[in-house]
Chains A and B, each alone.
Chain A
Amino acid sequence: MVSQTEQLLLALMIGVIMLGMGASLTWRDFFRAFKRPQAILIGFASQYLIMPFIGFSLAVALQLPPAIAIGLIIISCMPGGSTSNIFTYFSKGDLALSVTMTTFSTLGAFIMAPLWIFLYGSRFMTNEISVGMGSVIVGLVVMLIPVLIGMVIRRRNANVGAILELIGGILGVVIILALIALWVPRNAPLLATTPWQVYAAAVGVGLIGFLFGFLVSQAARLGFRRASTVALEAGVQNGPLALSIVLLSFQGELANQIVLIPVLYSLFIVITSSLVTLFFRRQNELRQQHAVALL
């Protein structure tokens, strides 16, 4: 699937992107996120109440075979991925809220992920599933340290910060496009032989996650900008974590089947998030205050 060098390169580039994201943030942005904790709470609830339920419901409704269903359950119980931060940045959403939610859901994953995987998964399979917590911590650190460095740089010199932010942004787009361009041809045989139910589940779990995250936030009157942020946070799961859990817990042919949905999800979520981001960006721009006409 992905080679070691590619993985390292990807991690490095994500680091640079997160540095750029950090350079667009201030402490005040985070204080503001905490000033209205309902958004963080709703984000957490979307992540660990709604998403696992969506995964489970899809597995039942589409009558997925047990191994495939377990893959779906695992991906739906994952914390938010740091890609949600990048998409939130591009959609002009509340980046500090996104980073906060990702951090909380990642920390929450220690209890929530095994709990929901066990509760929903036991209907399909009784194997013991080990959730590798080491990688969760590494992932969080990899994400937060460059964000912090970016924030410090920005505070020290806004010019350097703005340039970093720009570089991070450009790299973000490059990576998103590269992921799509590299993944599709490489996995063409897999894509050709996968039944439609599996596609529906892999694509649907993200899309329905966006939808519910958005609707719940709107119902809670968080405002469009926060609702779009929560939506992206809910729909975008930590795909690499799901992959590592599957590979740690299962072997051989079984692992290959279970890993199918996490793999497909990771591919399609980049595409669906990009489209949703374009929509949110337009809407967030339209909702900005143009009260004073100057220049």
Chain B
Amino acid sequence: MATIELDQSLRLQDPAASFVAVPPVAPVSIAYRHLADMVDRTCERYAHQHAFTAVLPNGMFGNLSFVQLQRDADRFAVFLREELGLAPGDRVALQLPNSLAYPICAFGVLKAGCVLVNTNPLYTPAEMVHQFNDSGARALVIVDLFGDKIAPVLEQTGIEHVILVRLTDRFPRLPGFVAYNVIKYWNRLIPACSAPTIGFGAALARGGHLLHERRVQVADYTATTSLDDLAVLQYTGGTTGVSKGAMLSHGNLLANMVQIEDRVAGNVTHGKECALAVLPLYHIFAFTANLLYFFHAGARNILVANPRPLSNLQRAIENYPISWIPGVNTLFNGLLNEEWFADYPPPKLRGSIAGGTALHSSVAERWQQVTGTAVIEGYGLTESSPVVTLNPLDASRPGSIGPVLAGTEVRLLNDHGEPAAPGEPGELAVRGPQVMQGYWQRPAETAKALKDGWLLTGDIAAIDDDGYLRIVDRKKDLIIVSGFNVYPNEVEDCIAGCPGVAEVAVIGLPDAKSGEQVKAYVVAKAGAGLTAEQVRAHCKQYLAPYKVPKAVELRAELPKSAVGKVLRRELRAEAARTAGEGEVVHG
């Protein structure tokens, strides 16, 4: 029986199918011993160029050159090892928004031979407790904006040391002082912190002191580190809801970096690009795309801590020659709706990368119209470091997540876990050097997700004849109306094209007659005067009757995740709650 990946490798030998430079099964070659090695050599290569620039909403900024970053990361590594006494493999939780401290700390942790635990700063104390206990973190680096959460968390976890970071750390002195006091006294965003902490500046100073006093060779900390060693614990809810740590090794992350490089190679000039880092670096997409890939390409990463409201991005986009924007559908859509952006899109923009959630074709088209550049859609998961597929910039296909990356194999599986019939959609399974080692201390969960080295994604995909993949939908989001499969993405894509619609989410609700029914939640553009009936009429024009939402609810906003993904499961939970109260408004 011919499996899909066999089919594909056959097609790849066809000279006409030149969309992938490297056959999928060829190994990815990594020129570095581990991530710290990559960081060091990259910093030496681009020395005095800007590596990171943090931009505040009022335009204030702080720069970090590659050499400054290397020096600070070394000091931080020394501080962790010499002052705090952490051992190789110890977990360090990093709970920071995008700021100059983030790359210093992340690279510092890796240089110390420790394991990085990325933590969402918006986590509640209960979520923090779970994540710190699960990972066994010994040290926590946290932004002062959430300093009030530390004390209640410390009592219930094994965290021994807390390093407190300011958003303005490593800014030039006067702007840093002014900005810090505006945040503290005008915005009143810095709560009192009763727990014992060490300031980030003091930690770096102490690390620098010990570095000289003890004549530390920072590279010695990672002398025995190999590509198979654990680098990052990246927590993900996954399908089961319990947050678990995906174990990403140095090799996983470096492989993905090289794979992305391979896909965008011709369109990225090393040492010349400027990438907007508006997605949070603690999220795997920005972590790999901005912190690893664009950093390694010698790009200047423009860090924005909080793009809420979106006008906070205006200075960052206007003041710097942004050439790449990794983002998500809601970000691209939101930017297009900002007048300052639509009137003057970044003139140096070369391309944008969409991930995290499906890119609506109407958004992609408008983006191309407005900016004159393409937004290429990719696909990935936390468990695959994250990128699995990515469209090439010059051969991007709308509605497709692109061909698989180099060194990556995919299979489509039917409901019985067997390869689906050729041409049929099936659950996407992935094998490649970027696939995680497993879930941290959860063998049962790992066994469910990884079967014979194949990562089961829970997403239903289809493969076009030339190897481009399409995500048909999340397996669990699939709506079955009277036995017909309805993919929420398709309905959302249709509604997003309806005039007056700003945002949309579609879920399935239990229905006595049809088993399930389609329900759409729509956010209308201000002043559009949109009605539920208009939305339904639009759908009837483009969709088969069973796909047309039976109910359309207009609302002010949609529940979203940290990266702006619309959370269908929250809508489902909410619908389940209100079902008994008969609050569903039918259009």
Contact = CB atoms under 8 A, between A and B. Distances in A.
Interface in A277-295: 285, 287-295
Given A159-B61, A166-B178, A291 B318 contact: no
Interface string A216-233: 000001010000000000
A285 B309 CA distance: 9
Contacts of B305: 295
A293 B307 CA distance: 8
Given A158-B59, A162-B60, A165-B58, A290 B308 contact: yes
Interface string B135-174: 0000000000000000000000000000000000000101
A221 B554 CA distance: 23
A159 B503 contact: no
Nearest to A167: B178
A287 B310 CA distance: 11
Contact of B562 (A221, A287, A294): A294
A162 B306 CA distance: 18
A161 interface: yes
B121 A288 contact: no
Nearest to B320: A158
A60 interface: no
Contacts of B278: 292, 294
Interface residues of A, number: 25
A158 B61 contact: yes
A34 to B, nearest CB: 11
Interface in A153-174: 154, 158-159, 161-163, 165-166
Interface in B335-354: 337-340, 343-344
Contacts of A163: 60, 174-175, 178
Contacts of B306: 294-295
B201 interface: no
B315 interface: yes
Contacts of B97: 294-295
A221 B339 CA distance: 15
B307 A292 contact: yes
Contacts of B172: 159
A293 B279 CA distance: 10
B333 interface: yes
B564 interface: yes
Contact of B340 (A32, A166, A290, A292): A32
Nearest to A154: B59
B175 A294 contact: no
Chain B CB within 10 A, most for which of A158, A165, A223, A290:
A158
A223 B338 CA distance: 13
A274 interface: no
B58 A294 contact: no
B343 A289 contact: no
Nearest to A288: B309
A293 B97 CA distance: 12
B122 interface: yes
Contacts of B114: none
A26 interface: yes
Contacts of A166: 58, 178, 182
Contacts of A159: 59-61, 172, 174-175
Given A221-B527, A294-B564, 17 more contacts: A32-B343, A32-B344, A154-B59, A158-B319, A159-B59, A162-B175, A287-B526, A288-B309, A289-B309, A289-B310, A289-B334, A289-B338, A290-B310, A290-B557, A291-B503, A293-B308, A294-B280
Interface of A: 26, 28, 31-32, 35, 154, 158-159, 161-163, 165-166, 221, 223, 285, 287-295
- Top 7 closest pairs, chain A to chain B, by CB: A291-B334, A288-B309, A292-B564, A158-B59, A159-B175, A295-B306, A162-B60
